[in-house]
Amino acid sequence: MKPSFRVLIPLLFVMSLNAQSVFEKEIFPGSSENFHHVLSNMEKYEIQIIYTRIDRNAEQEPMFSRFDFNVDPQRYFYPASSVKFPAAILALEYLNNLNIAGLDRNSRVLIDSAGYSQSVSDDPDNSVSLFIEKILLVSDNDAFNRLYEILGQDYINKQLASKGFKDTRIIHRLSVPFSFEENKRVNPVKFFDGDKLLYELPFRFSFFENSISPSGQLKGKGFMSGDKLVESPMDFSSKNFLRLETLHEVMKSVVFPGAVPENQRFNLTPDDYNFLYEYMCMLPRESDTSKYNYRETGDQYVKFFNCGYDSIPFPANLKIFSKSGLAYGYLIDNAYIIDTDKNVEFLLSAVIHVNGNGIFNDDTYEYDKTGLPFLSELSKLIYDYEYRRQKEYVPDLTRFR
């Protein structure tokens, strides 16, 4: 899929004053008993939902109405792999800001080591493009870690803050046992065109201050440390954090760059946007560059907002531009969802926590029983609501066909 790029004229962002009523009276009625059970215990499950309705005018310019359900921007949740999405966008922006002739997302990347438990990544196919493809297709942790090592803590967090995305704390690699100090140290990096060195980054140390302190960073009643149960809450104060609102607004900025305030836009080219759109909605089986086992992944793999298509291939008209996350019992998804046949479009972000025994790191979470069914049904409920909703002007979604 190669959608065309068109900058949209900025229009007024509208915050709904009756969001709770919209959810409870128009969206949630008719939900399953299990869905209702989760909603009736939403503090236990730490549910937060943000849904943005999109209306078009005669010129197809979008207007947004945002509806928040149980959203608390100061309440901690572990963002897991959802942090990979802003990192991917920032990596593209970083290369554009360098403005070096011949250097782009397809340039070969060598990730070197400066000690401190760092690892070398010298695959000749390495590039920022490949890292982003792996992140968006199968949520590859090593690919994120390599972007983290290119950018460093300081750049990631300062750039997001400069765009108005406050209280963001992306301060560690994923699935590697690095200490707080080791995560402040990032590898030397070299970019090449063939054998020609284009740009070189030295070893760097981050001076980013971890001063962000959301509520509820002590979680549960215990955690596993190796084979030992530690009977005290797990401390997430040195873990990554960002608001659900941040994920939602970053998604909106990428999908509708011309319809957000200028300071929230990323310095991306039209080709960068096309690249992101392609891989944000691509399914693993559709990849030309990296083939993945469809039996192992399926279309719903990393697509938690699957609009009810959780066991069969997605129809071609349903496109889910998203980046999800799953860890420590938290499930997060963040998406722009469209149906090009039924003219449905909306933005949706949500988080749910499923750790019934209150123990972390024991791999006993209710992902399949509770978390994934809830997010699937949530997206289906809003999809159905959007399908029924009367629109003055039907959205033109041909750029995503």
pLDDT tens, position by position, 41-50: 999 999 999 9
- In sequence order, which residues have a C-beta less than 8 Å from that of residue 11 and are 6 or more positions away? 57, 61, 62, 63, 64, 259
pLDDT exceeds cutoff 70 at 6: no
What pLDDT, on the 0 to 100 scale, is given for residue 2?
Answer: 44
pTM recorded for the entire structure? 0.94
Residue 142, phi then psi, degrees to nearest 5: -65, -35
- In sequence order, which residues have a C-beta less than 8 Å from that of residue 267 and are 6 or more positions away? 93, 96, 97
* Strands in 166-317 per DSSP E: 185-186, 189-193, 196-201, 204-205, 218-219, 222-225, 228-230, 234-235
At 74-115, the pLDDT tens digits run 999 999 999 999 999 999 999 999 999 999 999 999 999 998
What pLDDT, on the 0 to 100 scale, is given for residue 115?
Answer: 86
**Model confidence band, residue 399 (pLDDT cutoffs 50, 70, 90):** confident
pLDDT exceeds cutoff 90 at 169: yes
CA dist., res. 314 & res. 256, Å (int): 24
pLDDT exceeds cutoff 90 at 40: yes
CA angle 389/395/400 to nearest 5° reads 125
What pLDDT, on the 0 to 100 scale, is given for residue 67?
Answer: 96
CA dist., res. 201 & res. 217, Å (int): 34
All domains of the chain in start order, with CATH: 13-400 (3.40.710.10)
What pLDDT, on the 0 to 100 scale, is given for residue 11?
Answer: 41
